[in-house]
């Protein structure tokens, strides 16, 4: 099978089917930051419960209206792709939904990324290029590292640096609730899928 045909046949980015059921049946508000964070924490919890990925959820909202533009969950293990963190998935679907690679372009809604855990090093890079102008975080980087996840090599004072670039960072929204998802994942034997970066070369 040719490589192009293999990709077309085998790699189709799709959210787990339970998300459609959740969106159809749930009665939730997105008026406040806490409402929006509660939504993504629930995504993270359901991702673990349904065994479709790691304990991370994210969504992109119109900051002003609260309209949900996309959502994402961690699909690293289920899709066998190390790039598919919740934030990346949410960004991809928002860009496809809005029809533009730059979520900060003229005419775009004011895109706000809400994520259950602070972005890792990879996701920080993606956020910087995505055009998103506000990131709302639940659990801290240290909370993810505490249960064994490698968050990568992040710039010192990354929050201040992002703020100076016009990307507003808000931390610790419902941090305890977000941490509970991480702790539950660890306690129930969830896979910590870090690459082996300690190999001898």
From 70, 49, 75, 46, select the one nearest 58 (Cα to Cα): 70
Which residues are within 8 A (CB) of 191 and not within 5 positions of it... i.e. 6 or more apart?
54, 77
Is 87 annotated as catalytic?
yes
Name the residue among 86, 88, 91 with its Cα closest to residue 108: 91
Task: Please identify which of the residues 2, 31, 34, 87 carries the catalytic annotation.
Answer: 87
| Residue 59 token pair | 């969504």
Cβ contacts of 85 within 8 Å, gap of 6 or more: 56, 74, 76, 119, 120, 122, 123
- Catalytically active residues are 87
């Amino acid at each position: 099978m040719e490589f192009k045909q293999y990709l077309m046949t085998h790699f189709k980015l799709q959210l787990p089917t339970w998300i459609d059921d959740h969106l159809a049946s749930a009665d939730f508000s997105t008026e406040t930051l806490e409402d929006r964070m509660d939504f993504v924490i629930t995504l993270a919890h359901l991702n673990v419960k349904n065994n479709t990925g790691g304990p991370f959820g994210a969504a992109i909202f119109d900051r002003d209206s609260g309209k949900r533009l996309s959502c994402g969950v961690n699909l690293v293990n289920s899709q066998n792709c190390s790039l598919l963190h919740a934030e990346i998935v949410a960004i991809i679907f928002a860009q496809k939904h809005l029809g533009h690679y730059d979520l900060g372009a003229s005419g775009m809604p004011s895109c706000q990324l809400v994520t259950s855990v602070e972005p890792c090093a990879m996701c920080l890079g993606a956020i910087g290029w995505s055009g998103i102008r506000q990131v709302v975080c639940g659990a801290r980087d240290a909370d993810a590292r505490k249960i064994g996840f490698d968050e990568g090599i992040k710039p010192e004072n990354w929050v201040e640096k992002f703020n100076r670039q016009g990307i507003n960072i808000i931390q610790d929204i419902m941090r305890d609730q977000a941490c509970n998802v991480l702790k539950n994942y660890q306690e129930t034997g969830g896979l910590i899928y870090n690459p082996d970066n300690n190999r001898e070369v």
